[in-house]
Structure 1
Amino acid sequence: MVELSADKKDKTFHEVDSALERLKSEKRLKGVEDRRVASEVFDKRTLEVLYKLSNTGYLAILDGVISTGKEANVFKGLDDNDNFVAVKIYRIATSDFRKMQYYIQGDPRFKVKMSNKRQIVHTWVNKEFRNLKRAYENGVRVPKPFVSRENILIMEFIGDIEGNPAPTLREAPPLYPEEMFNKIIYYMRLLYREARLVHGDLSAFNILNFDEEPVIIDISQAVVVDHPIAGELLERDIRNISRDFKRFGVSSTPQEIREKIID
């Protein structure tokens, strides 16, 4: 690990601060007041990529945080046509590289040097983009992906016309649990049989309740069905959905769910 000198650290923070101020002065960045969080998320390279994306029409303004995680923050943004978009930015410094390697290795779609951390994150973002595209094109209700560049993914914003993001099922349990359950099983079946993917981390935390319609999110770890760990991940998804919907009053065994997805 290379330790930056105090002078170099000060210079790096100064460059990031200057770039942040430039974005704010151009009214491209709003609602990000915490300097520490901003410095963690918006490193110099990320800011450069944001500038490039702002010249493509996909992103005009970044406006406030939708969610924060250990590895990525999701921001609300506006494109050049004033449509809301979701902007997911992965932090190179805090990403779980071992976890990423676990899900990338064995996937024939990706070849990456596992010693290069930045390249691992870029591959991870590309993987999420391609998984979303594959799922979306096969009828699974996921956010429509628009573009990915390095550690940034821009996709469809799931929320109301005022810009309020949809809650997760964990935050807003369904009014009609049986109906919601059947829709989710249908999407799991489409994901498995048509998109040929297994989500791998599906639960009430990763499904949005958008006006009683389920929208599956956080699909970066999803693997192709012939991946060595696909069977193990499918069983985990099935157990999670069975458990979560039992809390909502819907009783269905993992075996019954498995038959609906695979049979």
Structure 2
Amino acid sequence: MNINFREIDKRLTELKIKDKDLESRKIWESVLDERTIVTLFKLLKRGLISSVGGPISTGKEANLFHGYGEDDKEIAIKIYRIETGDFRDMYKYIIGDPRFEKVKKSRDGLIYLWTKKEHKNLKRAFENGVRVPKPIAFMNNILLMEFIGNNEKPAPKIKDIELSETELEKSFRKIIDYMRTLYQDAKLVHADLSEYNILYYKGPVLIDMGQSVLNSHFNAIKFLRRDIKNITRFFNDSGLKSPDEEELLKIIIGE
């Protein structure tokens, strides 16, 4: 059950949350159920979070907040909403993944599993040289990651900035290279890649990997084709003529 609005200010102070204007309080209210509060306190007690700032972005399943972690290093805090999130599509990205054969049918159990899945996917990608936010820790419905940006200012999505022709070409090649590395080395397919899930900070950074599946998943190629279509559409619309989608598929999977 969500805590009532009168409790929000008290909880925000206790959780060392700095940004408490009206809009931020409304966003915090959407995620601060009792279980999430307990989890945040545990992460604070363990020193994985030293303080929490304002919201970076909001989504249908989770909200992302700025914060500080160990040694006052900037971090991103992703909180999946237990009570109000939309998780109807999650099962198709979990069923068939041998890493998660036992899927709990309870809402909170599914969300906790999804958080763990995103942490594992980010770790696989990061360790194989794909530029993603470095995962730091996870607990229940909260994921701590590297903050992409500087001085509390998050990096923009690639769709929201003007890139030169050279930058567009370099970014396209880098993204295809990341997709290839994901598939061949990390054994993953992003499965929701588009201009909405790519940040630009001294080059492209792939984000939101909760739905990513192993390349052995029965829908892996279907998801990969969709990723390729999204990427080529965006860069074509941006003025860069991209290679044929089937040619890109062969490059990515190594044929």
Partner of 1:89: 79
How is 1:75-114 mapped onto 2 (pairs within 5 angstroms)?
A: 75-114=65-104
Report the Cα offset of residue 23 of structure 1.
Answer: 4.0
In the TM superposition, what whole-angstrom CA distance separates every residue of 1:119-145 from its partner, at most 9, and x where no partner exists? 000000000000000000000000000
How is 1:218-257 mapped onto 2 (pairs within 5 angstroms)?
A: 218-252=208-242, 253-257=244-248
Equivalent position amino acid for 1:259 in 2: K
For residues 54 and 172 of structure 1, do their structure 2 counterparts lie closer, same or farther at Cα, with a shift above 3 Å needed?
same
For residues 256 and 249 of structure 1, do their structure 2 counterparts lie closer, same or farther at Cα, with a shift above 3 Å needed?
farther
Report the Cα offset of residue 20 of structure 1.
Answer: 4.9
Give % identity: 45
How is 1:169-184 mapped onto 2 (pairs within 5 angstroms)?
A: 169-175=158-164, 176-184=167-175
For residues 228 and 210 of structure 1, do their structure 2 counterparts lie closer, same or farther at Cα, with a shift above 3 Å needed?
same
User: Could you tell me which of 30, 37, 41 is aligned with 1:47?
Assistant: 37
Partner of 2:16: 28
The answer on 1:69 being equivalent to 2:49 is no
The answer on whether the counterparts of 2:8 and 2:29 sit within 8 Å (CA) in structure 1 is no
Report the Cα offset of residue 19 of structure 1.
Answer: 6.8
In the TM superposition, what whole-angstrom CA distance separates every residue of 1:34-62 from its partner, at most 9, and x where no partner exists? 44432221111101100000122211111
The answer on whether the counterparts of 1:173 and 1:248 sit within 8 Å (CA) in structure 2 is no
Unaligned runs of 5+ residues in structure 1 are 1-8
The answer on whether the counterparts of 2:9 and 2:20 sit within 8 Å (CA) in structure 1 is no
TM-score by length of 2: 0.92
Partner of 2:179: 188
In the TM superposition, what whole-angstrom CA distance separates every residue of 1:179-198 from its partner, at most 9, and x where no partner exists? 11111111111000000000
Equivalent position amino acid for 1:125 in 2: T
Partner of 2:155: 166
The answer on whether the counterparts of 1:59 and 1:77 sit within 8 Å (CA) in structure 2 is yes
Q: Distance in 2 between the 1:224 and 1:121 partners?
A: 19
Partner of 1:5: none
Q: Distance in 2 between the 1:223 and 1:173 partners?
A: 31
User: Could you tell me which of 94, 115, 122 is aligned with 1:125?
Assistant: 115
In the TM superposition, what whole-angstrom CA distance separates every residue of 1:53-99 from its partner, at most 9, and x where no partner exists? 01222111110000001111000001131111000000012233321
The answer on whether the counterparts of 1:177 and 1:245 sit within 8 Å (CA) in structure 2 is yes
Partner of 2:105: 115
Partner of 1:6: none
For this pair of structures, how many residues does the alignment match?
Answer: 249
In the TM superposition, what whole-angstrom CA distance separates every residue of 1:100-156 from its partner, at most 9, and x where no partner exists? 111111110013344211100000000000000000000000000000100000000
How is 1:125-144 mapped onto 2 (pairs within 5 angstroms)?
A: 125-144=115-134
